[in-house]
Amino acid sequence: MFVSPHPTTMKADRGQCQAIGLLDKIARIDGHWQPRVVAEMNDYQFKVVKVAGEFEWHRHAETDETFIVLEGELHIDVRGGPAGPDTIVLRAGEMAVIPQGLEHKPRAAAEVKMLLIEPRGVRNTGDGPTGERTVANDQWI
């Protein structure tokens, strides 16, 4: 049986203790490659995003990154892995974890809606220089 925590420990402002409609949140995002936070768990953020076209090659030296496709088909090109250059193909209902330090480039021929899971403070363009696709962190929707 679930015992509700004391009301002062609930974190509704962090997306906790509530149902979150991921596709409804994504529908409120203008543009592609603009991830928005919908919830936090410990130091991890859950971000929704819609993407189309190609992103840039990047890596996250300090953390893994999880991609969960809700609608569409996402291709993630990877290089520097144990098998050499490769592409991961994700369809709705599938996910992949990109290990820390592995260079990768997401791309989509048509619009894809997905959920990202990564630690708070991770820059979407990785460890490289800031560019036009770099999005400010902690933008909630």
Judge whether residue 8 has pLDDT over 80: no
pLDDT at residue 80 in the model: 78
17-119: what fold? Jelly Rolls (2.60.120)
Please state, rounded to an integer, the average pLDDT across all residues of the chain.
Answer: 90
Span 81-90, average pLDDT: 80
Q: Rounded to whole angstroms, how far apart are CA atoms 27 and 101?
A: 31
The domain spans of the chain are 17-119
DSSP bridge partners of 39? 46
Could you give the percent of the chain with pLDDT greater than 90?
81
User: Is there a contact between 44 and 52 (Cβ–Cβ < 8 Å)?
Assistant: no
- In this predicted model, what pLDDT tens digit does every residue of 87-113 receive, in sequence order? 999 999 999 999 999 999 999 999 999
| Count, residues in the chain | 141
pLDDT at residue 92 in the model: 98
Judge whether residue 11 has pLDDT over 80: no
Both tokens of 37, joined, read 């936070």
Candidate from 22-36, 45-59, 71-85 with smallest mean pLDDT: 71-85
